[in-house]
Structure 1
């Protein structure tokens, strides 16, 4: 019998899976372990990658997406180990993670399950590393914001157990499905994952059944993992909101009394529509704020122009009827905005000519259509000068936005990220050369070494132990770790020590041509692909 079976369910996250397996290979040197990958019909080459690079992995390639619970159960039934670890593909484990967790389980026979301290891609603690049972009141406090307002309260902060230190071992209610170590004998007693849950909620259900069996779930922060939240699914999407909260209803109906389940269902359904509404509103604002800002500035410019035209060109302050500013000018603004949109003026990093083309075409459209409506046939001059003024207005808006986002006023040109690579000279140089062949806007300032003898070499900025000072000195935006040279536990250590939210972290897996990272705990991770041109999600 093996000591540990590690099970990873994968769906279209080939690069993240490769990094997870690479870190597992290093951690597995200290434990008698077997690794399963259950692929849910990915189309991104995941199966081929596992077969080629990790032949020691036991691969189960499904022809259809079986969901998280069913896929895990497939591997659990084939496993032959004392402990089972359910692990997400978008994770990186430390070299001692598996051995430490197995040792803790050996020393605590009352432990049915175990979770570890999880950090996001910027090195920040993920509160879902430890959670309480989502009873109706706990759900109420979470849904309506009390948990966020009073995170350390024993009453309001039970969802993420904020009153428990993230650095102390404690029994908890709910383990995270991203890293969930289970005692096989307990699974034999309580059963496998409930396949009524397609995705989300199964970790809560299984954790609760472990507690009901008389065993404990432990939060164990003596080792850490990186979890790039939301790779297989976009956690901020409306679809995620519906799937997650519907899973909560399944849990309530299964484990709570009829009365409590009914209350819980009402709360959850309320949360679904609140969150969905907020997601729609947020998405709408994010997509349209620039359009409406342009419209406001163009209308303000037209308002000034019309008043000037009346007084100084027509010599009649009442030359244009009130309807002109109330109805006709907004139509002009709408036409200009739409034609700018059609010509790419609202794409990321849009150029000057996109705006120019949109306004010029819009001006021709307005002038042409005004000929067909005698009642609305006003001066062509004001239309032409209005178009010119709109060009200036939109350029002003873009210049302000450009300065706020990138520190310059060069429209359509994002500031290059200031990057340092941490690793041996050979590996750092390899990554540097590969980055030069891509379209990403990066300014690699130099390398940082963990070997003091290398500091004098050309291209090195300094020594790893000086990283915090180097970040400030060179105003670094991004740090790239070479995992071939820097162990996972050292990478995680430095991610937590560099307390600067403006700095992003990425990791180059051993002998790979891609770089993985995540700039937000609520967004899917991102990567630079060095052998194929992809849009980076930064």
Structure 2
């Protein structure tokens, strides 16, 4: 088997369904499998899996064992020569896995591979490619200089470019299963956050090269897996402390300074800063791009008839502003949806997607806050 796609789920039932549907499209002509592992979700994720995707292996944990342990569980039963660690709050294009596998085959010494990740507003997520967060680099980020040269983010590669990069994000990581096993998988001392940094670092220490491929895009509703609250801060900065203690050769004085710095950063972190960066704009119109009249009728009831429909040709020639744009993924490919979202980001637009064959819409207006599910 060529590929095993590993999706770790916790309490995001509707986003998980879209993720699987998009992956199924992308692996259509690839010898591949999907493995879902659920960390004791309190919603009906597992019931949905049994009902909608009975053919897919779903491991149902009886407790939340965290990111590292759960992914290691799934990879242990994977059959693919390659594995892709994928968040449930993502969606991929129809050609994603064909493209990343072809790229991987061209780079035999490759460690992990990441792609261009965008949020629900169409904005690029800079954590798609990062430098090693040494204490100095982390300090730059806390001072708002993460995008500078040699900063937290790997700015030496353009967003749409490709090349070697030190650290990738765990929302999308493709690598050979042999490489995964060679480095021992994810370090289970981490519960959530920091595992991807540690994993990327150990891959490179083992002699492989992590790479970034910006020509392939994926959607990541980041707020579904990264809610900025006190628990997040405790886990994130705790993970960074574990990484510094285990992986970097620091003197005793440096360890003391790092511990003080991590504590200070956690105490001073602006919890709402990231979510406040995008101001909500007034929506002047709502348009659904579909050729399904029954869908238009159902959505019109929700939008009180303040909804119009249009053909995809309109998007080819027009840049919309201050518009709620609904994409029907039964009518438009994810590839084109992502392209349109990028073209029309930062223009006051909001985006929602109806996954193929589904009776709900998904969207997110903020990178670091919960998205929305509209059922009809």
TM-score by length of 1: 0.66
Alignment of 1:128-147 (within 5 A): 128-147=127-146
Deviation at residue 282 of structure 1 after TM alignment: 11
Cα distance in 2 for partners of 1:142, 1:30 equals 42
- Number of corresponding residues: 372
C-alpha distance 261-56 of structure 1, shift in aligned 2 (>3 A): farther
Aligned to 1:423: 290
Once the two structures are overlaid, the 10-residue window that deviates more, 202-211 or 55-64, is 55-64
Aligned to 2:350: 504
1:154 aligns with 2:17: no
Q: Deviations over 1:130-166 (max 9, x none)?
A: 001110100111112233xxx2x324xx211224311
Alignment of 1:303-342 (within 5 A): none
1:466 aligns with 2:329: no
1:230 aligns with 2:223: yes
> Over the residues paired in the alignment, what is the CA RMSD in angstroms?
2.2
Aligned to 1:341: none
Aligned to 2:31: 32
Picking from 258, 264, 281, the partner of 2:258 is: 264
The structure with the greater share of residues assigned to strand is: 2
SS in structure 1 opposite 2:14?
Answer: helix
Gaps in structure 2 of 5+ consecutive residues: none
Cα distance in 2 for partners of 1:491, 1:497 equals 10
C-alpha distance 264-441 of structure 1, shift in aligned 2 (>3 A): farther
Conservation of the 8 A alpha-carbon contact between 1:9 and 1:72:
yes
1:216 aligns with 2:231: no
Cα distance in 2 for partners of 1:43, 1:134 equals 34
Conservation of the 8 A alpha-carbon contact between 1:230 and 1:522:
yes
Deviation at residue 477 of structure 1 after TM alignment: 2.2
Aligned to 1:101: 100
Deviation at residue 281 of structure 1 after TM alignment: 10
Deviation at residue 464 of structure 1 after TM alignment: 3.2
Aligned to 2:14: 15
Aligned to 1:482: 328
Aligned to 1:77: 76
Aligned to 2:372: 526
Picking from 270, 279, 284, the partner of 2:271 is: 279
C-alpha distance 80-406 of structure 1, shift in aligned 2 (>3 A): closer
Aligned to 1:86: 85
SS in structure 2 opposite 1:434?
Answer: helix
Q: Which has the higher contact order (CA 8 A, sep 6+)?
A: 2
Q: Deviations over 1:319-355 (max 9, x none)?
A: xxxxxxxxxxxxxxxxxxxxxxxxxxxxxxxxxxxxx
Cα distance in 1 for partners of 2:337, 2:54 equals 27
C-alpha distance 270-519 of structure 1, shift in aligned 2 (>3 A): same
Alignment of 1:388-403 (within 5 A): none
Deviation at residue 232 of structure 1 after TM alignment: 3.5
1:242 aligns with 2:234: yes
Deviation at residue 443 of structure 1 after TM alignment: 2.1
C-alpha distance 159-20 of structure 1, shift in aligned 2 (>3 A): same
Aligned to 2:186: 193
SS in structure 1 opposite 2:223?
Answer: coil
Deviation at residue 442 of structure 1 after TM alignment: 7.4
Cα distance in 2 for partners of 1:281, 1:90 equals 22
Q: Deviations over 1:391-428 (max 9, x none)?
A: xxxxxxxxxxxxx9887xxxxxxxx762100121x2xx
Gaps in structure 1 of 5+ consecutive residues: 286-403, 408-415, 453-462, 531-538
Alignment of 1:351-390 (within 5 A): none
Deviation at residue 280 of structure 1 after TM alignment: 8.0
TM-score by length of 2: 0.93
Cα distance in 2 for partners of 1:262, 1:219 equals 34
Larger Rg: 1
Cα distance in 1 for partners of 2:230, 2:265 equals 12
Conservation of the 8 A alpha-carbon contact between 1:417 and 1:443:
no
Cα distance in 2 for partners of 1:405, 1:8 equals 32
The structure with the greater share of residues assigned to helix is: 1
Once the two structures are overlaid, the 10-residue window that deviates more, 57-66 or 210-219, is 57-66
C-alpha distance 252-442 of structure 1, shift in aligned 2 (>3 A): farther
Cα distance in 1 for partners of 2:260, 2:44 equals 42
Cα distance in 1 for partners of 2:149, 2:94 equals 35
Cα distance in 2 for partners of 1:186, 1:464 equals 42
SS in structure 1 opposite 2:316?
Answer: helix
Conservation of the 8 A alpha-carbon contact between 1:422 and 1:464:
no
Aligned to 2:306: 443
Q: Deviations over 1:110-144 (max 9, x none)?
A: 10110000011111111001001110100111112
